[in-house]
Structure 1
Amino acid sequence: MNTEIISPRLREEFVSLIAQQTGIEIKSQNYGAMGDCIINRMRELNLPNPESYYELLASETSESEEEWQRFVCLITNKESYFFRDKGQFKLLRQVILPELIRNNQRIKTLRICSAGCSTGQEPYSVAILIRELIPDWEDWQVDIIGLDINRESLKQAQKALYNTWSFRQVEEEIKRRYFKNLGGYYQLNEEIKRLVRFRQFNLVRDEMPNAEMGLSDMDLIICRNVFIYFTETAIDKVVMKFYNTLRPNGYLITGHAELSNNQVKVFQTKIFPESVVYQRRGGKLPAASVSVSKTNTTTIQPKPQTFRFSTPQSPPPSPLVTMAIPPANSPKPIINPPPPITFVEEELLAEARRLIQQKSYYLAEKKLQTILRQSPHHYTATYLMAEINANLGRYDVARKWCHAAMSLDNLQVKPYLLLAQIEEEEGNIEEAKEALKRVIYLQPDHFMAYLSLANLYQNSGDMDRSKKLRNTALKILERMPKNHKIEELDDISVGDLLRQLQDISA
């Protein structure tokens, strides 16, 4: 790394300038990668020192504007693929888009924005869904706009030419129907391509709503895995832009757990098994509320991964921190009580929890590894390693840590709950059911397990069993204090959840 020639003071000024210009928050674990980008650009431009490069970026000149285009390409993550996040696309296909299509049947228009669209896979995936859902789609005015700050990504998006890695979650029938195989690369057909247009756009600095660009009265805004890179100030600003750009009853879909309750209080929050979504209401800015659809209930979703630099390439980027995997022969269950936790371990554990809360997963991982080197049978550290890996999308590794945690303390329910989420995300529904049944065996009053299991049976068509499980959850909730906040469900109260579940069962 070349960060030794960038002083700490100048480094902080770069971090502040990047946040101001783009909204992107550079985490401390990425300072080295940021420094490499700065030094590379400085040398490419034959500038004498990093201070000169900072002055160029900070100046309000055409040269600065052009250099930001190049610099942004280095600090943004361009990794994407078609139909990313099966659960959210299932929700789009079965609930959100059908509702919008019904609502707009008379005027036959549909306006959708993919914000932070990268190389175009997301808006094109939505276009394919619309083509599948609307029989007379050619009679509709469908306008899908993809926005991204990265000019190079948009150039690739406009070509609509992708390698096989972009299709790692796509059925062969979709590839056959909508793409032409060009020998290792796939070209999207023109009828889908025409539904999408792309614009370079800075979510933090550019005006929104923007009628001139067609960014107003949107039915749906999708902005996934973008806010995890942003500062809190930038998130607040962009969320309000989105609210004002949506038409009444329009939807905002983000990545899992990217927004806090306070940031979405102007929306109505709707909780589905696949994702939390946010709906704009007409009139005055409404207070936040939570609803559960008639056909869906609630579950907990994994959190998104933290920010990291990457270069464009086909395989996924390697993690910045080498991850230890629990040994194949997991520790045997502890018969005697575990040794007392030392003060140092308590401090490390508290710090790891704080870092996880801040989504600084790689730093949290290091803290936990320190604990596990000293105390290999530390249950909480082992479980948190599973949680971190699930948040980062490393499901195979997370699964192993889950089993290691179960071996250390087979009476704890958290590893089974997390394992159920992982199995469902991976499409292993029977394995997810078994994990949830284990939770219920260990903790018969765990209403979340009953609700999640009810949803799995409902999705597989077993409505009788689903109803029985949901009714059991209702009975458990009725015994709980009505003002108790449920942390896993964005602090919705027991009373509010109970009323909505009763509406579903009515």
Structure 2
Amino acid sequence: MSGDSPQDWRHPGYVAVIDLVAARAGLLPPSCPPAAMEGIDRAMARAGLSDFPTYLARLEAEPAMLDDLLVELTIGETYFFRTPEHFRFVRYQVLPDVLRRRGPGHVVRVWSAGCASGEEPYSLAVLLMEEGYGERMEVRATDVSRAALARAQLGSYSEWSLRGSEARHMRPFLLAEGKRYRLVPQVRNRVHFGYLNLADDTWPSHTQGLWGMDLIFCRNVLIYFNRPTIEAVARRLHASLAEGGFLIAGPSDPPLNTFAPFETILTDWGLVYHRTAPGQAPWAHSVRHAPPPAPRPVPTPPPVASTPPMPSPQPMPESPSPLGLEGAKRALALGDWGEAARLAAAHPEDAEAEAMAIRALANVNPLAAVRACTEAIRRHPLAVELRYLEAMLLLGLGRLADAERAARQAIYLEPSLAVAHLMLGHILRRQGDTEGARRAFRTAESLCATLAPDTLVPLADGERAGRLAEVAREERTRLEAVREETRE
């Protein structure tokens, strides 16, 4: 806890809890004490406890209670086919390589480590089905949150889980149930879920099926761990791979090749880790120009009357059409961030193009995206989208005071921008200003409530007013409940 001053914490009991989490789960000290204290408060409230000595004793004795706390101190953000370039690498590079080495009868083994509510492993299952591996695949998924695992096994999702550009791959396998969608058994039964704390030394494990993996997704999990835990997890991930297997981490995760004998593969969008088989030549240093294989037959899903038919997935083109902004939009939709940023940045006179370039760049280099945003704002000082993007980027980097400034500037330029009020609420809550956060969430809720529920909210990435109002209401209600508990 050396990075936090004593005045950052309302009570020394919080420090003791964080120290216990660091010792037991290998988590780094939180960068934002107010947000961590709120999470601890919520976990203690669920446990029906208000005094730290009792809570600490229960954390020591009850693994499930520690798991519940870990969920509060980490972020489980996910949606179907999130970061499409990762899935394209699997489709066009990993699977052809496995087929070449292991033959057509091989059962492909895949593991989603830190699967949250299940969108990632289900996306992998659908990809494998599309590529003809329906009867020759084993998909494992683990998480530290038993509640998230229960939601994942249920297989029920809202439109929010389908907000990514590649969600079209999932829609043929979803049954509409009111405002939600349920995965068909054809997909749901392909994934085997199980509890696992990656910081524990209980894996690789034949009992849990966590061994001999052709592919591991472990994205945006390692960012929470301290260095000794990262080293141990990296070694175990390498040991869990089959010879020739691949590991895909998140863009913000620490480099792992210094902790385990991975070969690193450089792509346009980041690094992939590879366990080289004995006698196998090193993988090419760049694989972006490798041609995609011919598409395999797509399995026929059960008929879904309430879901419009979607086109069968097509092979990824080698590069988008370089025709100005249309080329940039196409590259952005394909997840070719570098090309999208390059094409859009060629139009500095257009604020919308600048915003498009910044969104693409943010997926590759958030710091560079912040710098580009600053320059774009100088050219377009009245462009509200640029101010909003600046706030979003700064929040992601933990620069809360600067993020608050940018969010307030966006609101000054467009007072009715609901997403800016919602973001301001998150920023203020992390800064410990719960009353200001509550007001911001209430404003966002009120603005969305003035719109028809199915109306698309500006700058909300396809989110509709009804769902965004629900999100703002849940955040406001949570803060009000904490305020009432504090008064009592």
Does TM, normalized by the shorter one, top 0.5?
Answer: yes
Amino acid at match of 2:397: Y
1:247 aligned residue: 242
What is the match of residue 39 of structure 2? 37
Instruction: Kindly state the Cα deviation for residue 263 of structure 1 after the two structures are TM-superposed.
Output: 3.3
- Supply the AA of the counterpart residue of 2:31: S
Please give the alpha-carbon distance, in whole angstroms, between the structure 2 residues aligned to 1:163 and 1:302. Answer: 28
For 2:82, give the aligned amino acid: R
- Other structure's SS at 1:80 match: coil
Query: What is the deviation of 1:16?
Result: 2.4
Matched residue, 1:476? none
- Match in the other structure for 1:362: 398
Aligned residue for 1:204, secondary structure, equals: coil
How big is the shift at 1:366? Answer: 4.0
1:16 aligns with 2:15: no
Residues 100, 228 of structure 1: alpha-carbon distance in 2 compared, 3 angstrom cutoff:
same
Task: Please list the CA deviations of residues 82-115 of structure 1 after superposition, one character each: whole Å capped at 9, or x if unmatched.
Answer: 0001221222222122322333334321111000
Check 1:106–1:40 CA distance in 2 against 1; reply closer, same or farther (3 A cut): closer
SS of the residue corresponding to residue 212 of structure 1 reads coil
State which drifts further: 263-272 or 228-237: 263-272
Render the CA deviation track for 1:422-460: whole Å, top value 9, x for unaligned: xxxx9xxxxxxxxxxxxxxxxxxxxxxxxxxxxxxxxxx
**2:143–2:197 Cα contact (<8 Å) kept:** yes
Distance 1:188 1:102, change over 3 A: farther
Gaps of 5+ in 1: 306-324, 334-355, 371-425, 427-506
Distance 1:206 1:304, change over 3 A: farther
Measured against aligned partners, the alpha-carbon deviations of 1:201-253 in whole angstroms (never above 9, x if no partner) come to 01011411101111111111110111112212211111100100111110000
- Structure 2 CA distance for partners of 1:195 and 1:104, relative to 1, 3 Å: farther
Tell me which of 74, 77, 82 is aligned to 1:76.
74
- Confirm whether residue 96 of structure 1 aligns to residue 94 of structure 2: yes
SS in structure 2 of the partner of residue 54 of structure 1: helix
- 1:302 aligned partner: 364
Greater alpha carbon shift after TM alignment, 100-109 vs 180-189 = 100-109
What per-residue deviation string (whole Å, max 9, x for no partner) do you get for residues 236-291 of structure 1? Answer: 1111001001111100000114222653551110112233101002359x9x9972
Q: Is the 8 A contact 1:257 1:304 kept in 2?
A: no
Q: Is the Cα contact below 8 Å between 1:254 and 1:277 reproduced in 2? A: yes
Shift of 1:41: 4.0
With over 3 angstroms needed to count, the CA separation of the structure-2 counterparts of 1:235 and 1:110, relative to structure 1, is same
Q: Highest CA radius of gyration, 1 or 2?
A: 1
Distance 1:235 1:28 in 2: 18
Following the alignment from structure 1 to structure 2, what is the Cα–Cα distance between the partners of residues 229 and 250?
Answer: 24
Q: 1:42 to 1:95 in 2, by over 3 A?
A: closer
Q: Is the 8 A contact 1:246 1:280 kept in 2?
A: yes
For 2:266, the equivalent position in structure 1 comes to 271
Question: Which residue in the other structure is 1:181 paired with?
Answer: 176
Cα contact 1:148–1:199 (8 A) shared by 2: yes
* Matched position secondary structure for 2:103: coil
Q: CA RMSD in A?
A: 3.8
Distance change in 2, residues 1:19/1:106 (3 Å) = same
Amino acid paired to 2:185: E
1:166, CA displacement in angstroms?
Answer: 0.3
* Structure 1 residue 11 displacement after superposition: 3.6
What is the CA–CA distance in structure 2 between the aligned matches of 1:167 and 1:235, rounded to whole Å? 31
Instruction: Name the SS of the counterpart of 2:40 in structure 1.
Output: helix
Question: What is the DSSP-based 3-state SS (H/G/I as helix, E as strand, rest coil) of the residue aligned with 1:98?
Answer: helix
| Residue identity matched to 1:214 | G
Deviations along 1:141-186, one digit per CA (max 9) or x if unpaired, are: x110001000000000001110001001255753442111112211
Q: Which residue of 2 is the match for residue 222 of structure 1? A: 217
Q: Which deviates further from its counterpart, 240-249 or 98-107?
A: 98-107
Name the structure 2 match of 1:258. Answer: 253
Cα 1:35–1:327 shift into 2, 3 Å: same
Q: Which residue of 2 aligns with 1:87?
A: 85
Q: 1:45 to 1:124 in 2, by over 3 A?
A: closer
Look up the match of 1:474.
Answer: none
Matched letter for residue 39 of structure 1: D
Picking from 56, 59, 63, the partner of 2:58 is 56
Partners of 1:152 and 1:129 in 2: CA distance? 26
Q: How does 1:87-486 map to 2 (within 5 A)?
A: 87-134=85-132, 137-140=133-136, 142-170=137-165, 173-260=168-255, 263=258, 266-282=261-277, 291-293=285-287, 295=289, 302-303=364-365, 330=378, 361-363=397-399, 366=401
CA contact (8 A) 1:228 1:304 kept: no
Q: Distance in 2 between matches of 1:130 and 1:68?
A: 35
The normalised TM-score by structure 2 is 0.57
- AA aligned to 1:93 is R
Distance 1:201 1:267 in 2: 23
Question: SS of the counterpart of 1:146?
Answer: strand
Distance 1:176 1:122, change over 3 A: closer
Contact 1:239 / 1:263 at 8 angstroms: preserved in 2?
Answer: no
Check conservation: 2:217, 2:249, Cα contact below 8 A. yes
CA displacement, residues 341-395 of structure 1 (integer Å, 9 cap, x when unaligned): xxxxxxxxxxxxxxx9xx98223x647999xxxxxxxxxxxxxxxxxxxxxxxxx
Q: Return the offset for 1:327.
A: 11
Count of residues in correspondence between the two structures: 317
**CA 1:233–1:186: 2 relative to 1, 3 Å:** same
Distance 2:202 2:187 in 1: 28
Deviation of 1:27 (Å) = 2.2
Q: 1:27 to 1:66 in 2, by over 3 A?
A: closer
In structure 1, how many angstroms separate the alpha carbons of the residues matched to 2:148 and 2:46?
21
Query: What percent of counterpart residues are identical?
Result: 26
Task: Report the Cα offset of residue 15 of structure 1.
Answer: 2.1
